[in-house]
Amino acid sequence: MTSKKQKRRSLQTYLQHIGLAPFNHQGVAAVPLPSERSSTVRFQTLTHLDQALQSRAHGEKEPPVYGRSGLSTHRALEEVFCTLEGGCGAFLLPSGMAAISHALFSFVQQGDHVIIADCVYAPVRRFAEHMLAKMGVEFSYCAPNVDDFMRALKQNTKVLYLESPGSLLMEMLDLPALTEWAHKHQLVVMADNTWGSGYSYRPLDLGVDISIVAGTKYVGGHSDLMLGAVVTRHEEYLPTLYDTHYTIGFSVSADDAWLALRGVRTLPLRMQRSAESALEVCQALDEWPEVKQIYHPAWPKDAGHELWQRDALGSNGMLSFAWSLSPAQTRTFVDALQLFGIGFSWGGFESLIQWVSAKDLEGHSYWSKADNTPVLRMQIGLEEPQALIHDLLHARAQALKVQI
């Protein structure tokens, strides 16, 4: 058995036992930990309060002093993220974008410069242009390789922000090489790991300092909650992350934390099933003459497949493809699908499709305007894969009837 398989099996077993309710004095317990909701924390004496405040001053979360920091339900979910990602501390946020904001706010200030891989989640660009710029923080978008990052490096560069695989075209980044270069220049390396969510990919093991996860996606798994997490492998980062988290006022409801604990127990099964089905869909798409490129790192013909084999523990249901059909045909194709919802999210049980806009691909080094072909991104859910393929074939037939 390989070490990767051992790690995945260990995680799969762990996730079934974390967050169980403790036994009472009679030796009886429910299975799931209850959702512990409270806005106020009471203290038996002033001495107990003093001790709690002293712990907080050192960046510790226990014991809590106010409900905004969360209680036992939150602690259990933080432990889940630490174990999934291989970190020493985790912070819960009300969305994936809030997690990105929290991480960047914690390590940049006026006068600093951030290098951003050009394949990142599109709202990161909005955050940079609308928030970092207001703070007096410079930023540069670069193709995700050492040479381009080196050209963008400045004396005031403090953070390297990455996402692997990329948000739209799923390109794998060479995280060990990129982090080695960044650390030589004393940069804090952050990576969005929503794609792998700690089960299929672990950036902290590859040298990244801070991993960011939108728990809205595969961790929650049921399209019924918003959640983010910031995880670090450095204990010395915890006070800074804690101070930013508490000062800004980020908070997650106990009920959402409980839903995430429920969802994460089936994460291994859901991700494995979605990954297997995605490969079947890739195989079907590869037979269509109008499909020019399939973007999915687990697909053997993908440009990043070797990096995926080297660094990843598994895959998921995300894929994109570019094809030669016209925009009118593409619109007919999307509208004709019956089993795919049209939506921007992913990671749930349901299959989704998104027509990637040309604007979102602008400035993306992995994409050339000369290609000038529609790109569709799909989340392959838990439906029977042959049913999904039949749906895609039906929609394709409708699209081909449209006059160009």
Coil, strand, or helix at residue 320? Answer: strand
Give 69's DSSP letter: G
Q: At what angle do helices 3-15 and 267-286 cross, to 10 degrees?
A: 130
Considering the candidates 121, 161, 201, 295, report the single residue annotated as catalytic: 121
Torsion sign over Cα 280, 312, 97, 40: positive
User: What CA–CA distance (Å, rounded) separates 108 from 220?
Assistant: 30
Q: How many helices (H) and strands (E) does the chain have?
A: 14, 12
Q: Quick check: 96 and 217 in contact, CB under 8 A?
A: yes
Annotated catalytic, 192? yes
Torsion sign over Cα 60, 64, 65, 67: positive
Considering the candidates 217, 265, 273, 377, report the single residue annotated as catalytic: 217
Q: Both tokens of residue 69?
A: 């920091």
Considering the candidates 112, 118, 174, 192, report the single residue annotated as catalytic: 192
Q: Quick check: 89 and 231 in contact, CB under 8 A?
A: yes
Amino acid at 228: G
Any bridge partners for residue 353, and if so which?
342, 378
Q: Quick check: 128 and 105 in contact, CB under 8 A?
A: no
User: What CA–CA distance (Å, rounded) separates 168 from 54?
Assistant: 45
Q: At what angle do helices 267-286 and 385-400 cross, to 10 degrees?
A: 40
Any bridge partners for residue 141, and if so which?
116
Strands 291-295 and 318-323: antiparallel
Considering the candidates 37, 68, 125, 262, report the single residue annotated as catalytic: 68
Q: Give the catalytic positions in this structure.
A: 68, 121, 192, 217
